[in-house]
Amino acid sequence: MDYERLIFLHHCEGLTWKHIKNILIADPKLTDVFKMDIPSMMMSFALSEQMARRLKTFVNQKRSTYIMNVLKKNSISAISVFQQEYPPSLRTIFDPPWVLYGKGDWSTLKQDKIISVVGTRNPSSNGKLALKKVLCPLLENDWVAVSGLAKGIDTYAHQLCLLKSVRTAAVLGSGLLSIYPKENSKLSEEISENGILLSEFPPYAAPKRWHFPLRNRIISGLGKATLVAEARTKSGSLITADQALEQGRDVYAIPGSILEECAAGTNFLIQNGAKLVMCADDITNEWT
């Protein structure tokens, strides 16, 4: 397969993971899609007329060279699921991203000891201290932390990695040239120099609400396990925990006070079978 064609198609707005799967099943070498008319696209790829028209207009633009130049100019690598450099742990999930865009060192994701860290955007001071107590010994033992660059626990996890001079990976719910939240722009630069920034969305893609559950499956999929530091009962962190379980990963939760709303989600996870964590040994003992 010509990987550049897949990366090009991946930039077509509105084309979902399932759409691309249908295209690859019907046209594994991605040659026919550039010659088809709209009715053929609808029939072969199970596309609506609107989506087929959009795809036809897109492929007629022949902007592949421009797209690849944008990636190169901004030091962004695009790696498809069919290439050797693709993170091995992600291959095992049900719906691995067809293309990942990365800025930094891809070998960060080939480490054996990777833990995904998620939590609330508004952590308590005790929640941050508890995360530091659990995570720092792991980092000192060469674990890599993956998180989502969001405010709160995500940001703190990345900062702890940088403080310990340990590589970290941040998975974005936007394109790599559209950092969200904007106040983490400097942090994102530091991560790309000491680890890797990742996204399955083309570089200029703006953050959208439905992007974040998609991002979360990558966060959980990259790690051996997911550690939930603090979370409310209805939060993206609990969605990530559910995705981790679906992917066959372990879920660890740091307990919190029953008086803290931001600990209600983690305590709920423990009630429902997540492993209670009070120190790093509670995690490492299961991996030695």
The CATH number of the domain where 35 resides is what?
1.10.150
Are 45 and 124 found together in one domain? no
Statement to judge: residues 248 and 157 lie in one domain: yes
Domain co-membership, 47 together with 171: no
Q: Are residues 62 and 204 in the same domain?
A: no
Question: Strands, E, within 177-224: which ranges?
Answer: 195-199
Position 187 in a domain: yes
Residue 257: what pLDDT? 87
35 assigned to some structural domain: yes
Could you tell me if 138 and 274 lie in one domain?
yes
Which pLDDT score is estimated for 261?
87
Domains in the chain, number: 2
Q: What is the average per-residue pLDDT within 226-255?
A: 91
Per-residue model confidence as pLDDT tens digits over 83-142: 999 999 999 999 999 999 999 999 999 888 999 999 999 999 999 999 999 999 999 999
Residues above pLDDT 70, as percent of the chain = 99
What does 93-130 look like in DSSP terms, one character per residue?
SSS--SEEEEEE-GGGGG-S-EEEEE--SS--HHHHHH
113 and 34 part of one domain: no
Q: Is residue 18 part of a domain?
A: yes
- Boundary (domain end) residue, out of 73, 93, 118: 73
Angle between helices 38-45 and 49-61 (to 10 degrees): 120
- Asked whether the predicted pLDDT for residue 30 surpasses 90, the reply is yes
Residue 139 CA to residue 137 CA, distance in Å, equals 5
pLDDT score of 221 more than 90: yes
Domain membership of residue 50 as a residue range: 3-73
What pLDDT is attached to residue 65? 87
Taking residues 147-159, what's their average pLDDT? Answer: 96
Residue 220, classed as helix, strand or coil, is helix
Residue 170 has pLDDT above 80, yes or no: yes
Specify burial of residue 129 (Cβ count, 10 A radius: 0-12, 13-18, 19+): exposed
CB neighbourhood size of 91 (10 A) = 10
Whether 221 and 108 share a structural domain: yes
- Within a domain: 92: no
Q: Mean pLDDT across the chain, nearest whole number?
A: 93
- Cα angle at 160 between 200 and 75, to 5 degrees? 35
Average pLDDT over residues 157-178: 96
Say if residue 37 is in the same domain as residue 169.
no
Burial letters 209-248, b for 16+ CB under 10 A, else e: eebbebbbbbbbbbbbbbbbbbbbeebbbbbbbbbbbebe
DSSP state of 182: G
* Pair 113, 13 in one domain: no
pLDDT at 258 (0 to 100): 87
34 and 111 share one domain: no
In sequence order, the 6+-apart residues with CB closer than 8 A to the CB of 16 are: none
| pLDDT interval class at 288 (50, 70, 90) | low
In a domain, 97, yes or no: no
> What does the alpha-carbon distance between residue 250 and residue 225 come to, in Å, rounded to a whole number?
5
Residues 54 and 110 in one domain: no
In a domain, 88, yes or no: no
- 81: in domain: no
Q: State residue 195's pLDDT score.
A: 97
Query: Residue 142 belongs to a domain with what CATH number?
Result: 3.40.50.450
Confidence of residue 41 (pLDDT cuts 50, 70, 90): very high
Whether the pLDDT of residue 149 is over 80: the answer is yes
Which pLDDT tens digit goes with each residue over 42-82? 999 999 999 999 999 999 887 888 899 999 999 999 999 99
Among the candidates 25, 56, 73, a domain finishes at 73
All residues at 6 or more sequence positions from 287 whose CB lies less than 8 Å from its CB, including other chains: 113, 224
Last residue of a domain, one of 29, 51, 73: 73
pLDDT, tens digit, for every residue of 172-216? 999 999 999 999 999 999 999 999 999 999 999 999 999 999 999
pLDDT of residue 262: 86
**Do strands 250-253 and 99-104 pair parallel, antiparallel, or not at all (unpaired)?**
unpaired
Q: 158 with 168: CB under 8 angstroms?
A: yes
> Strand order of the sheet with strand 250-253?
77-80, 99-104, 195-199, 168-171, 144-147, 114-118, 225-228, 250-253, 275-276
Rounded Cα gap, residues 136 and 143, in angstroms: 9
In a domain, 91, yes or no: no
